[in-house]
Amino acid sequence: MNPVEVLRFAVLGLAANKIRTALTMLGVLIGVGAVILLVAVGNGSSKSVQASIQRLGTNLLTVSHTAGGGRFGAAGQGGTLKDLTPDDAQALVDKTLAPHVKSAAPVQTTSQSVTYAGQSVTVSQIVGTTPDWFATTNHDLGQGALFGTDDVNSRRRVAILGSTTVENVFGTENPIDKEILVGGVPFRVAGVLRTKGGNGAADSDDTIVLPVTTMRDSLTGYGSLSAIAVQATSSDDTALAQDEVTSILNNRHRIADAAQSDFRITNQQSLLSANDETNKTFTVLLAAVAAISLLVGGIGITNIMLVTVAERTREIGIRKAIGAPRGAILGQFLAESTLLSVVGGGLGVAAGLFAARFEVVGITPVVVPSSVVGSFAVSVAIGLFFGGYPAARAAALRPIEALRHE
């Protein structure tokens, strides 16, 4: 029996039970489609976070307190820890001591409810800072005006809103010069930042920026700053700028041993690397969960093929009685199981690619080509592997026993 005849018999055999064949293919389809979609979601999440980090600038350094903003949290150092202060931020822009630092800005963060026209929403990030923060973190003005040094020194209650916050609080209404309550304190909206983009889990446009003096007066008090944002003169100068910042802060905090520093410095590259590792683990977990459904589809193939062999035992007996070799029987049932996995896998690829065109929980999936090829290849291999036992069982039947089968 040539390959064309084997394939024709396989198609006829599957067509004889259309519903059973369709349901078996559906199991493989769901498995392959799930692998492609979930890997694409994991990859899309990683790309989105990386893009958000890169939009802040590849020459951005973040200085944060070792104790996370308090002076008593670091083990073994207790009261020797000093706060990060606005004066520390000002000291970092000394061109003599730090020629590779372009700008620096204090950052005080909190989360508060914002009320307008009787409606309240929670804004995930409220930032208190100085005008240098906008250039340091690559935030551009989209509408209205930014606050200036005079607003900071005069402790004026003015606010700059991110585009997502504007949409959540004002809808389509123009927010400029409107009054909002941030944590119960009235602020006038002076400007709106240009949209930077982000996903539902880490939306950098869901923010409000206030003068740091006003924020510390009315919302957070005068503890340590949450961080200091530092911009190096270029991406190539990031390491030099980091060394200069370390030296200045060690001197100001009277730290002789660098191992006892009460602050840490992170750059964008380290954040990208950490994010990349986290998302690789996340994507592998998603792929593993999807692969389980593909395995279940393969078990379904084995089950259906065993039922098929049982139903066609007499047919197998007749064919062997008239001279069909063991290889022909084996090939026919292997062809049927492989055909199930190939067609089911192909449809699963189409379903996975189609589903990846839509956002999932705010994340735009990005298809990974290797996941498409890999999941389809695994589905074909599953057809051969899980169809092997039923096919071998059919080929091993003795003609007399097969013909006696009821």
pLDDT in tens, 297-317: 888 888 888 888 888 887 888
Report CA Rg, the chain.
Answer: 32
Taking residues 151-173, report their average pLDDT: 90
Please tell me the predicted confidence (pLDDT) of residue 131. Answer: 92
Q: How many residues does the chain have?
A: 406
Is the pLDDT at 351 greater than 90, yes or no? yes
The model's pLDDT over 31-55, given as tens digits with 9 standing for 90+, comes to 888 889 888 888 888 777 777 666 6
Q: Which residue has the tokens 């954040």?
A: 271
Please tell me the predicted confidence (pLDDT) of residue 70. Answer: 45
- Closest alpha carbon to 203 in 49, 61, 56, 50: 49
Please tell me the predicted confidence (pLDDT) of residue 72. Answer: 44
Taking residues 103-130, report their average pLDDT: 88
Taking residues 327-354, report their average pLDDT: 88
Q: Would you state the torsion angle of the CA atoms of residues 207, 212, 216, 222, taken in this order, to the nearest 10 degrees? A: 120
Q: 323 Cβ partners below 8 Å, 6+ apart?
A: none
Is the pLDDT at 294 greater than 70, yes or no? yes
Please tell me the predicted confidence (pLDDT) of residue 201. Answer: 52
Please tell me the predicted confidence (pLDDT) of residue 268. Answer: 73
Taking residues 190-211, report their average pLDDT: 79
Please tell me the predicted confidence (pLDDT) of residue 405. Answer: 62
Q: How confident is the model at residue 69 (pLDDT cuts 50, 70, 90)?
A: very low
Q: Name the average pLDDT for the chain.
A: 83
Q: How many helices (H) and strands (E) does the chain have?
A: 13, 12
Taking residues 270-286, report their average pLDDT: 75
pLDDT above 90 as % of the chain: 12
- AA letter at 54: Q
Q: How confident is the model at residue 76 (pLDDT cuts 50, 70, 90)?
A: very low
Please tell me the predicted confidence (pLDDT) of residue 203. Answer: 72
Strand intervals (E) in 17-162: 60-65, 101-116, 119-129, 141-144, 158-161
Handedness of CA 171, 175, 178, 182 (dihedral sign): positive
